[in-house]
A and B are shown apart, each in its own frame.
Chain A
Amino acid sequence: MSNEKRSFGNLIKNYGIVFVLIVVILFFGIANPSFATASNFITILTQVSVVCICSLGMMFVLLTGGIDLSVGWIISSVGMISAYCMVNLQMNVFASCLLAVAFALLVGLVEGLLIAKLKIPPFIVTMAFMNILKGFSFLMTSGKSIYGIPDSFKVIGQGKIGEIPIPVIIMFAAIFITWVIVSKTYFGRYFYAVGGNEQATRLSGVNTDMVKILTYVISAGFACLAGLVQMSRIATGAPNNGDGYEFDVITACCLGGVSMSGGSGKVYQVFVGAMIIAVLNNGLIILHVNTYIQLVLKGVILLLAVAYDCVQKNRA
């Protein structure tokens, strides 16, 4: 429909997920007065930053029709590498971070090459890397956590500019950069095109293998950024820092409306999806809901989000 009316129905259809977020916020706000305070919102934004940054990277992979299960353990291994360099090896903070970034990008590159060139299913490649990186994270210190992170590094996760925590600023910067890439640059088009119809895209003269490889490098890069923020926030290099993050990240993307079959998804949707999870986490804790019930709820929400996506697809 080219001239869709701006009716309320269409607004709900197109921005339904935003309304879900508003409803969830209203619910917790009414249920508990200590939820709807400025300081709690800043807390939520800080809490969401790691998942959101990582989800932005995941969005690129999902747009091309792939999936990246390794992000959680990239977060862990990147934290361990940088902590190990800073503390155990007494390396310069900047150099330590750079090393961690190089490591993550290399992992993404290898994943991408295996997926695009050898045509191994993304699910398998990234699941294998999930295990490799998990083992690697624990092997580094035989499973011990690394304490004594230098103060200069703690700023990334704990510092503030005015009232705004630095992780929140990093998150919005990442959102902005992602938005520019996907909606303003020419190669942003390629991610959607590969997910929409890979063969037609290749026949249009686009190097589709390169696009696919790039998405895993980008995903690993964003996961690395998320990992550094995470490690700095808790000021500890713990091997299981990022355990289970892949689940929250994929849920955030799905919930927001990024299609699991590729070709569609917007940056704001990823942010809103991540926010819903964070608000639920925060609100349920404030309401003293059992952690295991929270897990059940998250699983149900993921199913509902994907079911909605599938129903929409079948109708089209």
Chain B
Amino acid sequence: MEPILEYRNVSKAFPGVQALSDVSVNFMPGEVHALVGENGAGKSTLIKMLTGVNVPDQGEIYYNGSTYKSFNPKMSRKLGLGVMYQELSLVNELSVAENIFLGNEPRKNRFLLDRKKMEEESQRVFADLGVNLKPDALVGTLSVGYQQMVELCRAVVEEAKVLVLDEPTAPLSSNEVEILFRFIRTVKKKGITIIYISHRLDEIFEITDRITVLRDGKVITTKNTEEFSRDELIHCMVGRKLTEIYEPREGVSGGEVVLETRNLSGNGVKNISLKAYRGEILGLGGLVGAGRTEFAELLYGHKKRDSGEMYLNGKLFSPQNPGQAQRAGVVLVPEDRKQQGLLLDMTVKYNQSLPIVKQLSRYAILNEKEETKLANYYCDNLGIKTPSLKQKVKNLSGGNQQKVVIAKGLASEPELIIIDEPTRGVDVGAKRELYHLMNQMIEQGKTIIMISSDMEELLGMSDRIAVFCEGRLTGTLGKNEFDAEVILKYASSENVAEGETYEQ
């Protein structure tokens, strides 16, 4: 059988990163093919080529009888390449049928919509695919699972030959996952190829026919699903030695408790009890959406907790807003530096001093000399490379932007720093510098809670690791127990039991 879609020796570089190197992989008609790998392995880069978001530097993509150097969104839709991202592109105010035929409506004549035909057509498609949807229901009133189904049906109506599902089950309940899987099995029989991206190994073993493992922009292997064992797959995904970018550091877990949470719930996390010790990096591991960021938002007073307590240095700690948390000595370096961390149109100095301008003022008048001095201090100390303090932050590289966010955090001289994804979108050189900085903070007696979806980073930097899954704490590992496979096991849902938490 001929493959329907094939990447041939595709390479792609971004500034500072070789995102894909010489990737060749093929997809057969009617197969469900999983793409797995850690964050940054190159899965999204590969997929985004199908809609023209990324253009290959080298190599070509074969699809349905022709070879292409690049695509664009309109073209791929026309060719039958359907890519479903995690954010759905539906109009909530329109009905299911209207959404399915959006931009492609059947008409009675030049102007009038043929609503009847539209609904009949939809009904026919639903019956054909075994989907239980009402054509006249408003999309906004459906659950996420059914909304996703509407989007999938739209792709089928548009005669997609390849469907890419990027983490489709992340927002779904287990019932909805079953419905999705039934759908996948049905369309598969129609010869449609499904490219399935997921971190959830259970699902991959249940639904896919073949698996391709990507790591560091390279294809490690492609095999039939039944030829993989679970452990072998994890080994392929992670399997490398931690390189020398992680400096050895004496962790001092087990001393004085800086932060403690007791049965903390709210903002999507349930019943979290854990401790952070002075002078340690506590890594929070788990899948994207496991509740780690949500937990951090509670600690920082950004979101309200429902129940449970927090203690900072043994004293009850209940920040109502980030300002209070900051004054108590807790700061958050947020995950998304552009949306949450920085004022992109403002200068380096302006950004750095924002959290402490009040402390730099006397009778409300800002002491600009002091401000400049401090900004210079942090630029030197953190190695922020900028032509001047008056440079707008948006003109800095990702690594330097990240350092500015960290400088902002350090400016208020916190005891506990929560860093959410410290090195996302940062090149290797800057990564090493950021790790060095974190080690320096530890040497100064600060405590770090680090949220990371990068397994290597989590293992390399943490002194202890707490693993989250579906809003719960499923396990805590001491340094001598570190093991990527154990962490992945804790991070996958099978270990979540109602009301169960572990602490050491």
* B302 and A186 form a contact (CB under 8 A): no
Does residue B366 face the partner (Cβ distance < 8 Å to A)? yes
Contact of A264 among B300, B340, B345 (CB under 8 A): B345
* B346 and A196 form a contact (CB under 8 A): yes
Q: Which B residue's beta carbon lies closest to that of A181?
A: B364
Of B344, B357, B387, the most chain A CB neighbours within 10 A belong to B357
> Interface size bucket, B side?
35 or more
* B357 and A207 form a contact (CB under 8 A): no
Q: Which A residue's beta carbon lies closest to that of B409?
A: A204
Does residue A99 face the partner (Cβ distance < 8 Å to B)? no
By a CB distance below 8 angstroms, the chain B residues around A192 are 343, 346
By a CB distance below 8 angstroms, the chain A residues around B387 are 2-3
- Once A189-B354, A202-B321 are accepted as A-B contacts, the answer to whether A2 and B388 lie under 8 Å apart by CB is yes
By a CB distance below 8 angstroms, the chain B residues around A205 are 322-323, 325-327, 331, 355, 412
Further 16 A-B residue pairs, CB within 8 A, beyond A186-B361, A204-B354, A205-B327: A184-B365, A184-B366, A186-B357, A186-B360, A187-B358, A188-B366, A189-B357, A193-B354, A196-B345, A197-B342, A199-B339, A202-B302, A203-B300, A203-B302, A203-B332, A205-B322
Query: Which 3 A-B pairs rank lowest in CB-CB distance, beginning with the nearest?
Result: A186-B357, A205-B326, A196-B343
CA A114 to CA B357, docked complex, whole Å: 28
Question: Could you list 23 A-B pairs, sorted by A, with CB under 8 Å?
Answer: A2-B388, A2-B390, A185-B365, A185-B366, A186-B357, A186-B364, A188-B366, A192-B343, A193-B346, A196-B343, A197-B343, A197-B344, A199-B339, A199-B340, A200-B340, A200-B342, A201-B343, A203-B332, A204-B322, A205-B323, A205-B326, A205-B355, A263-B346
Size of interface on A: residues with Cβ below 8 Å to B: 25
- Once A2-B388, A2-B391 are accepted as A-B contacts, the answer to whether A202 and B322 lie under 8 Å apart by CB is yes
- Once A2-B391, A193-B346 are accepted as A-B contacts, the answer to whether A200 and B358 lie under 8 Å apart by CB is no
> Secondary structure at chain A's binding surface: helix, strand, loop or mixed?
helix
By a CB distance below 8 angstroms, the chain A residues around B343 are 192-193, 196-197, 200-201, 263
Q: How near does chain B come to A210, taking the closest CB pair, in angstroms? A: 9
B328-356: CB near A (< 8 Å → 1, else 0) gives 00011010000111111110001001110
Does residue A20 face the partner (Cβ distance < 8 Å to B)? no
By a CB distance below 8 angstroms, the chain B residues around A264 are 345
Does residue A127 face the partner (Cβ distance < 8 Å to B)? no
By a CB distance below 8 angstroms, the chain B residues around A110 are none
Does residue B408 face the partner (Cβ distance < 8 Å to A)? yes
B residues at A contact (CB < 8 Å): 300, 302, 321-323, 325-327, 331-332, 334, 339-346, 350, 353-355, 357-358, 360-361, 364-366, 387-388, 390-391, 408, 412
- Once A192-B346, A205-B412 are accepted as A-B contacts, the answer to whether A187 and B323 lie under 8 Å apart by CB is no
CA A206 to CA B388, docked complex, whole Å: 26
Contact of A207 among B302, B321, B353, B390 (CB under 8 A): B321
Q: How near does chain B come to A197, taking the closest CB pair, in angstroms? A: 5
- Once A185-B365, A187-B364 are accepted as A-B contacts, the answer to whether A203 and B341 lie under 8 Å apart by CB is yes
* B342 and A185 form a contact (CB under 8 A): no
Q: Which B residue's beta carbon lies closest to that of A180?
A: B365
CA A193 to CA B351, docked complex, whole Å: 9
Of A3, A196, A201, A207, the most chain B CB neighbours within 10 A belong to A196
CA A196 to CA B347, docked complex, whole Å: 12
By a CB distance below 8 angstroms, the chain B residues around A2 are 387-388, 390-391
Q: How near does chain B come to A268, taking the closest CB pair, in angstroms? A: 19
* B322 and A203 form a contact (CB under 8 A): yes
CA A203 to CA B326, docked complex, whole Å: 9
Q: How near does chain B come to A43, taking the closest CB pair, in angstroms? A: 36
- Once A185-B361, A185-B365 are accepted as A-B contacts, the answer to whether A206 and B323 lie under 8 Å apart by CB is yes
Q: How near does chain B come to A315, taking the closest CB pair, in angstroms? A: 13
* A204 and B358 form a contact (CB under 8 A): no
Q: Which A residue's beta carbon lies closest to that of B390?
A: A2
Q: How near does chain A come to B338, taking the closest CB pair, in angstroms? A: 9
CA A201 to CA B345, docked complex, whole Å: 13
CA A3 to CA B390, docked complex, whole Å: 10
* A204 and B339 form a contact (CB under 8 A): no
CA A207 to CA B334, docked complex, whole Å: 17
| CB interface residues, A 258-304, toward B, < 8 Å | 263-264
CA A205 to CA B354, docked complex, whole Å: 9
By a CB distance below 8 angstroms, the chain B residues around A197 are 339, 342-344
Q: How near does chain B come to A1, taking the closest CB pair, in angstroms? A: 9
Of B345, B353, B408, the most chain A CB neighbours within 10 A belong to B345
CA A187 to CA B322, docked complex, whole Å: 17
A149-184: CB near B (< 8 Å → 1, else 0) gives 000000000000000000000000000000010001
By a CB distance below 8 angstroms, the chain B residues around A187 are 357-358, 364
By a CB distance below 8 angstroms, the chain A residues around B360 are 186
- Once A184-B365, A186-B364 are accepted as A-B contacts, the answer to whether A206 and B339 lie under 8 Å apart by CB is no
Q: Which A residue's beta carbon lies closest to that of B302?
A: A203
Q: Which A residue's beta carbon lies closest to that of B389?
A: A2
* B365 and A204 form a contact (CB under 8 A): no
Q: How near does chain A come to B414, taking the closest CB pair, in angstroms? A: 10
CA A186 to CA B302, docked complex, whole Å: 23
By a CB distance below 8 angstroms, the chain A residues around B364 are 185-187
CA A204 to CA B406, docked complex, whole Å: 11
By a CB distance below 8 angstroms, the chain B residues around A196 are 343-346
Q: Which B residue's beta carbon lies closest to that of A196?
A: B343
By a CB distance below 8 angstroms, the chain B residues around A207 are 321, 323
Q: How near does chain A come to B336, taking the closest CB pair, in angstroms? A: 9
CA A217 to CA B343, docked complex, whole Å: 25
* B321 and A186 form a contact (CB under 8 A): no
By a CB distance below 8 angstroms, the chain A residues around B357 are 186-187, 189
Q: Which A residue's beta carbon lies closest to that of B412?
A: A205
- Once A200-B342, A205-B323, A207-B323 are accepted as A-B contacts, the answer to whether A189 and B355 lie under 8 Å apart by CB is no
Of B326, B340, B350, B390, the most chain A CB neighbours within 10 A belong to B340
* B354 and A206 form a contact (CB under 8 A): yes
Q: Which B residue's beta carbon lies closest to that of A187?
A: B364
Q: Which A residue's beta carbon lies closest to that of B408?
A: A204
CA A62 to CA B345, docked complex, whole Å: 16
By a CB distance below 8 angstroms, the chain A residues around B346 are 192-193, 196, 263
Q: Which B residue's beta carbon lies closest to that of A192?
A: B346
* B341 and A200 form a contact (CB under 8 A): yes
By a CB distance below 8 angstroms, the chain B residues around A199 are 339-340
By a CB distance below 8 angstroms, the chain A residues around B300 are 203
* B390 and A201 form a contact (CB under 8 A): no
CA A80 to CA B361, docked complex, whole Å: 40
* A203 and B340 form a contact (CB under 8 A): yes
Q: How near does chain B come to A33, taking the closest CB pair, in angstroms? A: 45
CA A248 to CA B331, docked complex, whole Å: 44
CA A84 to CA B323, docked complex, whole Å: 44
CA A207 to CA B355, docked complex, whole Å: 11
Q: Which A residue's beta carbon lies closest to that of B343?
A: A196
By a CB distance below 8 angstroms, the chain A residues around B327 are 205
CA A206 to CA B412, docked complex, whole Å: 12
CA A10 to CA B450, docked complex, whole Å: 45
CA A187 to CA B321, docked complex, whole Å: 18
CA A206 to CA B321, docked complex, whole Å: 9
Of B331, B341, B346, the most chain A CB neighbours within 10 A belong to B346
CA A205 to CA B353, docked complex, whole Å: 12
CA A207 to CA B339, docked complex, whole Å: 17
CA A203 to CA B334, docked complex, whole Å: 8
